[in-house]
């Protein structure tokens, strides 16, 4: 029995030695072929995924719609103009989910493909405004007004200009309040306060004249 087992093993080794180089060569060739292959893009599958995303979005299923648009982006070639639509649609999902910064990023990606894409500009405006990035929102609003030439677009510019001015005024008041507190800490050592100083703005130049009143 032992000699029979040894004979079988010896036969196996001889067969492996004879077949080994060819098998190894074939395996290496298959691996090399797979490594050199280009990524599989399919615009038709991308469009199908987008259609599914649209259906999910219409049903209010934001996450499922987002997943479908992400799949569309995976299928679409990197130079396909359709990518702008997929990014923009995914941004709409992020807006619904109040993920403002991510929505802004997807809109920016869409605009890199189509710089004057109205929906992407509009959605990025919305995302920026939600984050209080009013300067960025206003820039997009002005671009939309230039493209659309509509009363609504111009009204949005006016509204954001006012909102930004109000924000700047609030920030200026907060800064002045902090400076006043700091000044009081310093002047208190000399028995004075910022109330002893009065700033009057010159309407002509916009500069301020500072006067001192020890009795204030």
DSSP string over 117-155: -HHHHHHHHHHHHHTT-HHHHHHHHHHHHHHH--HHHHH
CB atoms within 10 A of CB 97: 13
pTM comes to 0.65
Structure tokens at 147: 């493209």
pLDDT of residue 8: 40
pLDDT of residue 177: 67
Helix (H, G, I), strand (E, B) or coil at 206: coil
Give CA–CA dist 163/28, Å, rounded.
Answer: 66
Give CA–CA dist 161/141, Å, rounded.
Answer: 10
Give CA–CA dist 46/87, Å, rounded.
Answer: 12
pLDDT of residue 34: 42
Asked if 123 contacts 91 with a C-beta cutoff of 8 angstroms, the reply is: yes
Residues with pLDDT less than 50, the chain: 1-8, 11-12, 15-16, 18-36
pLDDT of residue 42: 95
Q: Which residues of 76-91 are buried (b: 16+ CB within 10 A; e: fewer)?
A: beeebebbbbbbbbbb
pLDDT of residue 32: 39
Give CA–CA dist 73/86, Å, rounded.
Answer: 6
Residue with tokens 């309407």: 203
pLDDT of residue 31: 39
Sign of the Cα pseudo-torsion (27, 30, 33, 35, in order): negative
pLDDT of residue 202: 74
pLDDT of residue 21: 46
CB atoms within 10 A of CB 114: 17
pLDDT of residue 1: 47
For 188-210, the pLDDT digits (tens) are 666 666 676 677 777 777 677 77
pLDDT of residue 3: 46
């Amino acid at each position: 029995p032992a000699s029979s087992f040894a004979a079988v093993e010896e036969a196996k080794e001889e067969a492996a030695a004879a077949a080994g180089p060819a098998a190894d060569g074939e395996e290496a060739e298959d691996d090399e072929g797979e490594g050199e292959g280009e990524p599989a893009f399919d615009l038709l599958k991308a469009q199908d995924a987008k259609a599914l995303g649209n259906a999910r979005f219409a049903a209010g299923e934001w996450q499922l719609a987002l997943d479908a648009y992400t799949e569309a982006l995976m299928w679409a070639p990197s130079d396909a103009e359709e990518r702008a639509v997929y990014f923009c649609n995914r941004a709409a999902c992020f807006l619904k989910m109040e993920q403002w910064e991510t929505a802004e990023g997807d809109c920016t990606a869409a605009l890199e493909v189509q710089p004057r894409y109205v929906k992407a500009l509009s959605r990025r405006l919305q995302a920026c405004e939600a984050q209080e990035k009013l300067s960025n929102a206003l820039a997009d609003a002005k671009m939309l007004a230039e493209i659309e030439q509509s009363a609504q677009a111009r009204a949005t510019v006016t509204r954001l200009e006012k909102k930004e001015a109000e924000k700047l005024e609030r920030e200026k008041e907060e800064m002045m309040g902090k400076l006043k507190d700091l000044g009081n800490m310093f002047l208190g050592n000399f028995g004075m306060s910022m109330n002893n100083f009065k700033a009057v703005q010159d309407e002509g130049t916009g500069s301020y004249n500072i006067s001192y009143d020890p009795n204030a």
